[in-house]
Amino acid sequence: MIELETTRQEGTLRLNLQGKWTFAEADAIKTQLSAIGLEAAVGVVVDASALERLDVTAAWLVYQQAQVWQQQGAEIRFEHFPAEYLGYFEKARQRDQPVMGWGAFLQTPVRRLGQSALALLATLRSFITFFGHSLVGLVVALFSPSTFRFRSVFHHVFSTGISAVPIVALIACLISIVITYQGGGQLRDLGAEMYTVDMVAISVLRELGVLLTAIMVAGRSGSAFAAEIGLMKTNQEVDALRVMGGDPFMILVIPRLVALVIALPLLTILADIMALAAAALISSAILDISFSQFYSRVALNVEFRTFAAGLIKAPFFAVVIALIGCWQGMRVTGSSESLGEHTTKAVVDSIFLVLLLDALFSVLFYQLGF
Amino acid sequence: METIIAVKHLVNQFGSQRVHDGLDLEIRRNEVLGIVGGSGSGKSVLLRTILGLNTPTSGEIYFQGQELTGMKRQELACLKRRWGVMFQRGALFSSLSVADNIQFALREFSHLTPAECRELMLVRLEMVGLEAHVANKFPSELSGGMIKRVALARALVLDPQVLFLDEPTSGLDPVSAEEFDQLITTLHHNLELTVVMVTHDLDSLASVCERIAMLVDKRIVDGTLAELLASPHPQIRQYFSGRRAQAIMRENTWNGMPTTS
């Protein structure tokens, strides 16, 4: 509890502080002090001799009010007030300069535009450097297989490929069910339900199988790569590797890259098979197309190159996902916030680039008549 | 002297491993208590148990006569605000600036205006001997010693009655470590703080701590440094018989403190 006794005498206002003045009483202290008017006083004496307890926050609130009175022209005197506190307050006040200059907010838009353009260039440059580094690493690994870490590759094939099998199989089935239902319903009205088979087979084999698998893997493994490497960076594990003469590219990036290039095409094949199986099942259930009809229709109308056109994109997507994931991981600095930011970027950027690459492939295949 | 925190019959067991077995500890008001013990003797578990981060297998912990382990969560949170904790590696929030790290509790638990919070934050920075411009930096931009100081400023911001320090001088160079010891002594005197520190630093033990609690055989043996040095217990003798310990003890004999030899 705080108690405050004020006496006025010959132009002097005397404050006698009593009780326990602590952080918990901050509100009461503020209201009580600010209620005191100077009136005619030209001097204020703050007497802390009767206090049981005075902590820093409470003392500072008293000091702050004293500053206000001083500005109103009163002379302040502290009696039995802890000198150490006053020392801290004086120094802190002197040192308090305006911080976080307004400059940052007042920058002209032009300047900000320029800065973000430069930042973009720096990012691009960083990625190109990283890409080059990885290529060099691959070439080195090709010519001196002893530096290549097979065990690490197997580990990552398992974690990015084999453990992704259930979810990839499931989404392949689901998307194929959706297409068969939607397309089959429409085509049956035209009496052309047989074409449902062509539609599902071609769209899944050419585009959807590989694309959905790549997006799934980008979400699963791209983020994992970024987070793993990012955490190793904040833990200085990457530095430790470097100091021991290890090349982080050879040890961390290349195995992940190679593993994903192996895993993603295999997952794509799996997705294709599962999607066709699901389509066959749904077709027989709702469109009265028997399994043998389905099979002969696919064998007749779907060429091998349709399947190849989808599969050939998988390694390219894998490279994009692995490189973006590892690169974002390497860009993590210090804080946990940065880790989150770069993990998010790894996923968003790799999905974006996978879709962009897919569009480019579509144009290319069209031009080639593939 | 009045007891501020009392630990009674504390038992901590993890699996088949018993870390504390009927441990008793008293922390007295306005003292600086050092908790020591070899690696793996359960210092950190003891500290974590007192702080409520670890639920003991059995035993009670009293703060100013109130039993903590059976207390409601909200009451406990209120009591905890009278404690300041400095973690070994600072545990600063890495996404907040130094200023926001220190102001966090002020903003959260008081009705002070942002300007007042900022001023009070600067006072704390001044108290731990840091320049005002440090306030705008982020934890990842600070050196080890600065992180410790900022962590101390954050621990002090709610004007705690008890300050817990987990290895305050570990990872600091000798000069910084000594400065830090002095800082703790100064703050202890100026703020009437009760300080509990877990430490491996024999210099800190000799220069800062008024009383030492040593974890031996899953229990506490406490006393002044001189009393512990005079103890016949083999583990205590071993702890203080290393060459480094001996050198520091010699120095302190010169300062008028008796030693065993």
A83-93 pLDDT per residue, tens: 778 888 888 77
Q: Please count the other Cβ atoms lying within 10 Å of the Cβ belonging to residue A120.
A: 10
Q: How far apart are CA A364 and CA B137, in angstroms?
A: 50
The pairing of strands B194-198 and B32-36 is: parallel
Helices (H), chain A: 26-34, 56-71, 83-95, 103-106, 109-143, 150-160, 165-189, 195-203, 209-217, 223-234, 237-243, 248, 254-282, 291-301, 304-311, 313-330, 336-368
Cβ of A23 and B192 within 8 Å?
no
Q: Is the pLDDT assigned to residue A244 strictly greater than 70?
A: yes
User: In angstroms, rounded to a whole number, what is the distance separating the alpha carbons of residues A271 and A176?
Assistant: 10
Average of per-residue pLDDT across A95-121 = 73
Mean pLDDT estimate for chain A: 87
Cβ B123–A89 below 8 Å, yes or no?
yes
Q: Does B116 touch chain A (CB under 8 A)?
A: yes
How would residue B51 be classed by pLDDT, with cut points 50, 70 and 90? confident
Query: In residues, how long is chain A?
Result: 370
Establish if A358 touches chain B: CB-CB under 8 angstroms: no
pLDDT, position B255: 52
How many angstroms separate the CA atoms of A316 and A302, rounded? Answer: 23
Residue of B nearest to A29 (CA): B112
Q: Provide the token pair at A251.
A: 């040890």
Q: Judge whether residue B167 has pLDDT over 90.
A: no
Verify whether the Cβ–Cβ distance A337 to B132 is below 8 Å: no
State residue A352's pLDDT score: 96
| B54 against A200, higher pLDDT | A200
> What percent of chain B has pLDDT above 70?
92
Residues of B in contact with A84 (CB under 8 A): 186, 190
Is the pLDDT score of A146 beyond 80? no
> Which pTM value belongs to this model?
0.66
Interchain CB distance below 8 Å, B119 and A64: yes
**Which residues are bridge partners to B7 per DSSP?**
B25, B61
Residue B33 has pLDDT above 70, yes or no: yes
Q: pLDDT-based confidence at A323, cuts 50/70/90?
A: very high
Confidence of residue B55 (pLDDT cuts 50, 70, 90): confident
Interatomic CA distance for residues B15 and A99, integer angstroms: 53
Confidence of residue A95 (pLDDT cuts 50, 70, 90): low
Look at residue A283 and tell me whether its pLDDT is greater than 50. Answer: yes
Is the pLDDT at A102 greater than 80, yes or no?
A: no
Interface A-B, measured as beta-carbon pairs within 8 A, has a size of: 77
Q: Residue A46 phi/psi, 5° resolution?
A: -105, 115
CA distance A223 to chain B (A): 20
Confidence of residue A54 (pLDDT cuts 50, 70, 90): confident
Q: In what order do the strands lie in the sheet with B162-166?
A: B83-86, B162-166, B194-198, B32-36, B211-216, B219-223
Please check the confidence at residue B260 and state whether its pLDDT lies above 50. Answer: no
Helix (H, G, I), strand (E, B) or coil at B38: coil
- Tell me, what's the pLDDT at A132? 92
A chain contacts of residue B139, beta-carbon cutoff 8 Å: 334-335
User: Is residue A82 a contact partner of residue A17, using CB atoms and an 8 Å limit?
Assistant: no
Q: What is the mean pLDDT of chain B?
A: 82
Give chain B's length: 261
**Distance between A247 CA and the closest CA of chain B, angstroms:** 25
Would you place residue B253 in the very low, low, confident or very high pLDDT band (cuts 50, 70, 90)? Answer: low
Q: Which residues of A touch B98 (CB under 8 A)?
A: none
The pLDDT of residue B90 is 81
pLDDT of residue B252: 60
**pLDDT tier, A97 (very low <50, low <70, confident <90, very high otherwise):** low
pLDDT digits 0-9 by tens, B178-228:
888 888 888 888 778 889 998 888 888 888 888 888 888 888 888 887 787
Number of C-beta neighbours around residue A247 at 10 A: 16
**Bridging pattern class, strands A43-47 and A51-54:** unpaired
Read off the DSSP letter of residue B36: E
Compute the distance between CA of residue A332 and CA of residue A339 in angstroms, rounded to an integer. 6
pLDDT at A324 over 90: yes
ipTM here: 0.72
